[in-house]
Amino acid sequence: MSEAIAIRRGTVRDRDFVVDLGRRVSVTSVSSLRVALPPLVEGAYERLVEYVLAREHDILVAVVDGVPAGFALIIYDLPDEITLTEQTFIAYMAVEPAWQRRGIARILLANIEDQARKRGLPYLSLMVTEGNTAALELYAGAGFITERRMMTKPL
């Protein structure tokens, strides 16, 4: 890959990009068990962005040849809900469809891990939809392991 990939801290000027890309790919977060209308999923994503921005957070933006190509929303003040252990939590990560499978998400993850280590936070956590095999492979390759599993029974 000859493109230059850089990761930078997001600013308020990146908000439109983060909202737009996240809305466009938000359906990848829907389980195959659930029926969801895209406008509702997009609205839920927009509420997530507002939630993240109201907390202690970072936005990392992946830039390819000067153009935003992906981002990560990171929360630092969301402890594990069972042990209350401090952690860095990846609330959402997305890469432009045209730039997927080129290592951008892997580079974002490495930068997030660096930020977490600099803050002295002992864990890096996220949630991923069981059917999102590309994301599952990415996270497993980056050293993530399954800690808990949400199980659902359609009625």
Output the pLDDT for position 47. Answer: 97
**Sheet with strand 67-75: strands edge to edge:** 5-9, 57-64, 67-75, 88-95, 124-126
Domain with residue 108: its CATH number is 3.40.630.30
- Can you give the pLDDT at residue 66? 92
Q: Which residues constitute the domain of residue 133?
A: 5-141
pLDDT (0 to 100) of residue 3: 76
Q: What is the pTM of this model?
A: 0.93
Note whether residue 151 is domain-resident.
Answer: no
Residue 25 forms part of a structural domain = yes
Task: Please identify every stretch of the chain with a pLDDT value under 50, giving residue numbers as ranges.
Answer: 1
What pLDDT score does 43 carry?
Answer: 95
What was the pLDDT predicted at 1? 47
Query: How high is the pLDDT of residue 2?
Result: 57
Q: Count the domains in the chain.
A: 1
